[in-house]
Structures are given as structure tokens and as C-alpha cells.
Amino acid sequence: MLLAALACYVFAGPALAQPTLTQADFDRLESRAETIERLHAVVVSQGGEIRFERAYRGPGLASPANIKSLSKTVLAALVGTAIERGIIDSTEQPLSELLQSEIPGDADPRIHDITVGHLLSLQAGLERTSGTNYGDWVASANWVRDALSRPFVDEPGGRMLYSTGSSHLLSAALTRASGDTTLALARRLLGEPLGITIPAWPRDPQGIYFGGNDMQLSPRALIRIGELYRQGGSLNGQRILPEGWVEASWTARGTSPWTGDGYGYGWFVTTLAGERAYYGRGFGGQALYVIPARELVIVITSDPSPPSPGGQFQGELNGLVEILLEGQ
């Protein structure tokens, strides 16, 4: 469980390569954050220690918030833990081995070329279930079969096709491979070692927990996930993600058609104020940033209610991060 004292936790790690943030840096951050009406909370950790946390509105710092598609980043971490535990073989394992009973009888043969890695990097090649297709997909009787029945619009491993259906297939694969629910796995493989609470979130008509959307995590819990990646997949001497997982996750395999940022295994790859930055994001302004060179993990939550403020709002969130980077 998260405790109020979590704000003071310190992870073991190397000495800071850059000067620590100052009160003046945080004053500039807060001055800008206070002007953003949709903003709910901001938490900043440097070197494993929470240095700044403010809840402007919304659920607060320790209460669960709907992180929308930032769930894709968390689900990618869960897949990593499942590989570390031998539940899934590797990112090269074909999806058809894990969901054999769900593959349509008349499926395109390319369905057997889709791997776990292709789903993580949103390169399955199948028609998207997001955007204008989202409503019909979530209204279908079987989300897994609907996603697998979509026509191919690119080759597996081709361009990035942002599709929550791809992430949902990962949730189904985790459930089939483990014989347990995605929620139970998340609590056991992520929640327990990280000391965070993971509440239940919505399921599809077959009871598969929604893969890639609507997870409920607090800003402080997201800081722990960011720290897990910043420290290479281990915390407090315990390996949670496979060796090399973070590097693989932060290697761009596709490119976002909206931002031009790279995309790896659940993480976008970009440059902010001259520093390499990695982030996950969700509808309405949910974001988790890791900037390794500055030993920074930053969480931002916002009002997830439609309509979405769109890409311009993502730029505002990036701007908050750049305030800290430029001040050092």
C-alpha cells in the first residue's frame, strides 16, 4: 500500500549527473501549472526522491485516477514482468501461439506473423480499432475476435498503427498464458514488488481486463513505475523487468503520425530541451515522463472528460517538463 510517507522515499542509485532542481525551478513550474485549467496533479521525482507534488484539483496524489491510454505503458511493463517470470516466452513469440482458439478460420495467413513485440510497438499491421473505429469495436460482442478479424492495412512490423485493439490482444494473451486475470497478474507482478495499489478496471464482454485503456492508478503509483524504468528494471535489488527490457522499450520502432515522435514498447521517444525523454500518454492529458540524464520522473494527470484538448495540450505538458530541464 502507498503511505503518506511515500513522498520521502529514496531509491538507491548513482549520484546525480546534473545539479539538483531548486526551489526556483519548482516555483516556475507551479506558476505555469496553475494556469492550466484541466490539470489535476503534478509529481516530480529526482534521483528517486519526490521533490515536488501538487494536486490542483481532481482525485489527488494518492487516489486512483483514470489514466486512459497511459495504460498502454503500464501494460507493456506487465508484459515485461510476464516474460521475466516465463509466462510469455519473449517478444518474438507469435500471437497465434497464445490466442490460437481466437484466430478466425478464414484469417489472413499474416496473422501468424504477428508477434508480442509487434503488439507492444503497435505494429501489428491490422486495421486500427482506435479513432473512428473505436465505437464499433467496443460495441462488438467479442473485442478479441473483432480485433483479430480486422483486415491488414500494412505488414506485421510495418508502420505504427495506434490501436487499442493491439494492446487488448496483449491483455488477452496474458490471461490465456497465465490462466489468471490481467488484474491478478498486475497486482502480483507489479503491484506487490512496487508497493502500489492497482484497483480493478473495466473488462470486455468475455471478462478480459481492458488492455490499453481505463486503468486506475494514482500519480504516486505512476512515479514508482517510472522509477522502475529509470533504474533499468530493478528496484531495491529486485529484478522485476528482464535484463535489457528498458533499453528495448525505449528503442523507437515506429513513428507517431501525429507528433513525429518515435514509439517503442509502450513508450514514446522524443527530445525535450535538448535531453532524450521517454513518455507514455493518455487521453485528456495523462502523462508519465522519464528523463534519464537528469534522473527525473514526472507524472501529470488531468481531466480525462471529453472533449480531448488534443495535441496542443500535449505540447503544454511537454512545456511543463521543459521548464524543469531548462532551469537546471
Say if residue 5's pLDDT is above 70: no
Confidence bin at 120 (pLDDT 50/70/90): very high
- Chain mean pLDDT for the chain: 93
* Architecture of the domain spanning 4-327: 3-Layer(aba) Sandwich (3.40)
pLDDT at 327: 78
C-alpha closest to that of 221 among 299, 277, 315, 144: 299
pLDDT in tens, 149-204: 999 999 999 999 999 999 999 999 999 999 999 999 999 999 999 999 999 999 99
Q: Is residue 6's pLDDT more than 70?
A: no
Query: Alpha-carbon distance 148 to 127, whole Å?
Result: 9
Q: Which residue would you say has higher pLDDT here, 38 or 1?
A: 38
Q: What is the pLDDT at residue 4?
A: 29
Q: Classify burial at 121, counting beta carbons within 10 Å of its beta carbon; exposed 0-12, middle 13-18, buried 19 or more.
A: buried
Residue 8: pLDDT above 80?
A: no
pLDDT-based confidence at residue 310 (cuts at 50, 70, 90) = confident
Give the residue among 144, 42, 69 at the shortest CA–CA distance from 304: 69
Residue 320: the pLDDT is 97
Higher pLDDT, 51 or 307: 51
- End-to-end CA, the chain: 33
Q: Provide, rounded to the nearest whole percent, the portion of the chain with pLDDT above 90.
A: 91
> Which tens digit of pLDDT belongs to each residue from 56-112?
999 999 999 999 999 999 999 999 999 999 999 999 999 999 999 999 999 999 999
Q: What is the C-alpha to C-alpha distance for residues 114 and 169, in angstroms, rounded to an integer? A: 11
Is 269 or 15 the better-scoring residue by pLDDT? 269
Domain boundaries, the chain: 4-327
Tens of pLDDT, residues 225-267? 999 999 999 998 999 999 999 999 999 999 999 999 999 999 9
- pLDDT for res 248: 98
CB 208 within 8 A of CB 141: no
Q: Say what the pLDDT of residue 18 is.
A: 57
Predicted TM-score of the model (pTM): 0.93
